Structure 1
Amino acid sequence: MKNSYRLAFLSAFLLWLGWPPIPYTAPLLLVAFVPLLLAVEQLILDGTAKRGRKIFGLAFCTGFLWNTASIYWVYNAISAVMPAYIAVFISLIPFGLAALLMALAFRLYAQLRKRYGLIVSLVGLICFWMSYEYLHQSWDLAFPWMTLGNGFANFHQLIQWYEYTGVYGGTLWIWLCNVLLFLLLRKKLLLKEPLVLPKSIAGFAALVLIPCALSLIRYFTYEEHVNPSNVVVVQPNVDPYAKWTMPITEQVDQLIALSRTKAQSNTEFFIWPESAIPERPPGVNEEEIRSNTNYLDIRQFLDDYRNGNVLSGIESMLIYDTLATPSAQKLERLSKYIDVFNAAVLIDNSSKVQFYHKSKLVPGVEQLPFASLSFLKPLFAAFGGSTGSYGRQAHPTVFYAQSGIGAAPVICYESIWGNYVAQYVKDGAQFIAIVTNDAWWGNTSGKSQHLDYAKLRAIENRRWVARSANTGISAFINQRGDIVAKTKWWEPAALKADINLNEAITFYTATGDYIAYVACIGCLVYLVLLVGTLRRQQ
């Protein structure tokens, strides 16, 4: 059993080593699960007592170590607003939950092995795993940061075919390579059977190299249709913990000043980061924004840029006479209801103002998971969250400039949802504007991972990404996923680029996460088989 845990630790180490932002190590993911699969198989072949529980434990150990090593930076954001011992406990929740779901996939695989053959069971394992990943982007505890297909974000030249499959194509490829190598090593190491080496190596090499070769061909031959638009992204570098104690007008003045350093007469978009337009809580009243001082200053700034638009993050609110939405809270002193939003706004030279309310809210911080569990609100509030204070909208909103250009206002955490970002593009977005604030995590790998994941959205949709981050890393990413310009961490800056707008729709944009849907159907079929088998045995 000790050897089994050594193999589990080896898998965790390889998964971490292959994960962003470590450069050019992503191919390790193609073999990283093999030690764990061999450890599990050894327990099955030996007929170990209570092997189902032991397999669960091995998989949980691998998942927990991998997640903790890769997203340790979650602790930084939490420890800034609460005591260290509580921060440690809360940080363990995303690590442990993901590991629990991963281990459950292996536990179900062990059940399949009791009743079905190896190949059938391995297909079931892949379906269970991909269904876990889809669940982890769909439910109220969503945190799809560690979806396997994200792992190639730092070696994007090898996954240009994500324009057809999205990140779930990457998850499937990783698992197929791991399973094939496992089958070869199982035969040699565990069953002590001879291998036909040329054929075995050729099969595995083909599965690895053919997708890479096709991707590299696509990467080096891809040409963007020339349709330029001048865009400026701004990085004000405001300490998020001191933001609300700083003079409001000073922050807007800084954003305008930085914008002017890169602005041209033909600049069409100025992208400012998440919550860039400040207002004392609960935020700017959307219905009264045209009389807001910040709005008037921005309009005055845009007078110098006839086709200019400011696309910015903003804290906003709406007031209702009745309980209009589930997230609205009652204002007792006014006998009215209020919704507060982490929002984006588009301001141009007309009187039109467009708003988008962030849809993918961070569990426990921006929303209470499973709203029916209202008794948990005091607990989350005690842990420093703003639970219950943010409203949301169900579907994305494309911002349209007066010139007709469509921009996708993607707010922070939303940029890791491929299918959601693709919906913007289907609705007419010609480029993707990501507004974010990664300063909560400090100078850790979290900010770099978040930037790398934006490259995946560029490839999936073949759209430029203009990324404005409060304290870094702001960047421009082209349609191949190349970072063509970026800022440094923790310094005020502005960048400009002539990006190419695109109206073409990729296969992935049109179809979404179809691979995950098929895997979920497969998962349901396997679960029915398991339940049916259990009933027959009773």
Structure 2
Amino acid sequence: MKKNIPLSILSGLLLWIAWPPTPYTTFMLFLGFVPMLLAMENIIQSTSAKKGKQIFNTTFLGFFVWNTLCVYWVYNALKIIGPVVAIPVTLIPYALGPLLMSTACWLYYRLRLKTNRTIGLIGLVCFWIGYEYLHQSWDLNFPWMTLGNGFAVSHQWVQWYEYTGVYGGTIWVWAINILLFLLYVGLQEAQTKKLRSKLIISVTLTLILPLGISLIRYYNYEEHVNPANIVIAQPNIDPYEKEGTIPVYNQIETLTKLSDSLAQRNTEFFIWPETAIVEFMDEDHMLNNNYYLQVRRFLNRYKNGNVITGGETYRLYDKQVNETASPTPNGGFWDHYSSAINIENSAKVHIYHKSRLVPGAEALPFGSVLSFLKPVFAHLGGATGAYTIQTKPSVLYSQSGIGVTPVICYDSIWGEWVARSVSQGSEFIAIITNDGWWENTSGKDQHLDYAKLRAIETRRWVCQSANTGISAFINQRGDVVKQSKWWVKTALKHDINLNSDITFYVEYGDYLPKLGSILAVLGIAFLLIKAFFKKNVAAKING
């Protein structure tokens, strides 16, 4: 047991070193799980009791090290809701992810007991993918640590994400780690020279073929020339001063001056960050809102221009017309949204509502069951459960017919969600975010790096406007063409290329994790059936 703990911790450290935003170390993803697999093998081959418990505890330690070192910044992002709430909510990524990862390893051990090493390792990959898909699908979602995200810094290696999405990267990492593990174990078990040669060839091909295909695609990819002029504004307003300290009118004035500084007559879109307009705006009376009119006055100078801005919007009801509406102090009901608003030189206003909310900070997990906790969070200063989400992706269109996928902060981690919007006619992606909550940590860098993967999956330019984080233009290969510095008031301008072609991934989405999850469920069912029959046989013998 003593030698297995260092092996587990070593895995956690290797995976952390390999993780974005650290450059030049991505290759360690292909080695990171080998010590963990060796630790599990030591336990399986030992004569000790309670092997399943040992495997779970040992792997949890390594996974906890990995997750904590990578997403330590989560506490900074959540402390605004109060330390009493922030500390337990922070445990969602710190501890829940490792718990699910260790469960996948425990299931691998149980499957291996009933079958053999080969089937067990195949099952491990399926159980892992099942965990990742669960962790992006349920109310406690946090897909930040999906293995395929680990290639965000070395995006040149995974140009085939346009076919597989990030889950192709997950399979790639596990395949090489497992082959290296089998090669090492085989040396200890005096495997035949022929088998050793097969494993060496398998490792080489599994590494070289995807990498070679990706690099060829990267260096030969050419964008269709279809330019649109875009201006991104980064106002750099302290998120703790946005509400109440600085008047909203002044904040909009800052954004218009930044936009004016680079705009030209043919500028199609001005992109402003999440909650750029922090004052509540009634969606049913938007055309009379003073802040909307202020933006319209700015657009008078740019007849073809559109402003995509973040804002806080709401709808009021006399009675509870849906399950999401919350009561107001005046006896009515309302839905409150974090929105992306497209304002143009006409009476049309298109709005998208943020659909992926941060568990605990923006949404109460399993709200229908735990709705009684909302007053507690409100009393402690939190916003949990305040936002209503949009259940289907949508596209915002300019006056000239250009479609854009609106993505608000946390939305950008869901490849399939972005892809579904692109499939509806989007020609580029606009990410609006407010990364200042994370302070000057690796969180803002990881967020930008992950945006590269959305560009590759969809072959769309990504234009990211961050209030206090990093704003950037990312091309269809995932290259950052221009970016701002942290905590700087600035604007960026670029002619991007619009694209209407549909990639394989955009058309079929997350087919890999869905298939992997089905296989994982079948594996769990197999274990349950085996356990049931074993229990019945034992009962008959004892009876």
Query: Contact 1:436 / 1:470 at 8 angstroms: preserved in 2?
Result: yes
Of residues 129-138 and 290-299 in structure 1, the stretch that sits farther from structure 2 once superposed is: 290-299
Matching residue of 2:123: 124
Aligned-residue Cα RMSD (Å) equals 1.3
Distance in 1 separating the partners of 2:190 and 2:379: 57
2:239 aligned with 1:207: no
Matching residue of 1:225: 224
Matching residue of 2:344: 348
Matching residue of 1:239: 238
Partner amino acid, structure 2, of 1:118: R
Matching residue of 1:468: 465
Normalization by structure 2: what TM-score?
0.96
Distance in 1 separating the partners of 2:168 and 2:450: 15
Distance in 2 separating the partners of 1:519 and 1:314: 38
Of residues 324-333 and 165-174 in structure 1, the stretch that sits farther from structure 2 once superposed is: 324-333
Matching residue of 2:334: 338
Structure 2 runs not aligned, ≥5 long: 536-543
Normalization by structure 1: what TM-score?
0.97
Question: After the TM superposition, which parts of structure 1 deviate over 3 Å for at least 4 consecutive aligned residues?
Answer: 85-90, 192-200, 378-384
Query: Contact 1:187 / 1:195 at 8 angstroms: preserved in 2?
Result: no
Partner amino acid, structure 2, of 1:352: K
1:304 to 284, 292, 301: 301
Partner amino acid, structure 1, of 2:295: I
Shift of 1:462: 0.1
Aligned pairs for 1:71-90 within 5 A? 71-83=71-83, 87-90=86-89
Partner amino acid, structure 2, of 1:34: V
Matching residue of 2:383: 386
1:360 to 356, 362, 367: 356
Query: Contact 2:100 / 2:131 at 8 angstroms: preserved in 1?
Result: yes
Matching residue of 2:488: 491
Distance in 2 separating the partners of 1:297 and 1:159: 44
Deviation readout 1:438-487 (Å, 9 max, x if unpaired): 00010000000000000000000000000000012000000000000000
2:88 aligned with 1:92: no
Distance in 2 separating the partners of 1:458 and 1:230: 18
2:523 aligned with 1:516: no
Shift of 1:380: 3.4
Partner amino acid, structure 2, of 1:216: L
Matching residue of 1:435: 432
Partner amino acid, structure 1, of 2:349: V
Partner amino acid, structure 1, of 2:94: F
Partner amino acid, structure 1, of 2:467: N
2:324 aligned with 1:327: yes
Matching residue of 1:38: 38
Matching residue of 2:143: 144
Shift of 1:396: 1.2
Query: Contact 1:271 / 1:310 at 8 angstroms: preserved in 2?
Result: yes
Partner amino acid, structure 1, of 2:185: R
2:419 aligned with 1:422: yes
Give the count of matched residue pairs: 532
Shift of 1:25: 1.3
Partner amino acid, structure 1, of 2:278: P
Secondary structure of 1:491 counterpart: coil
Secondary structure of 2:278 counterpart: coil
Query: Contact 2:92 / 2:140 at 8 angstroms: preserved in 1?
Result: no
2:521 aligned with 1:527: no
Shift of 1:194: 5.2
Distance in 2 separating the partners of 1:325 and 1:429: 29
Distance in 1 separating the partners of 2:422 and 2:463: 14
Query: Contact 1:184 / 1:195 at 8 angstroms: preserved in 2?
Result: no
Query: Contact 1:168 / 1:516 at 8 angstroms: preserved in 2?
Result: yes
Q: Percent identity?
A: 53
Distance in 1 separating the partners of 2:375 and 2:103: 30
Deviation readout 1:478-505 (Å, 9 max, x if unpaired): 0000000000000111001000000000
Distance in 2 separating the partners of 1:315 and 1:445: 27
Secondary structure of 1:154 counterpart: coil
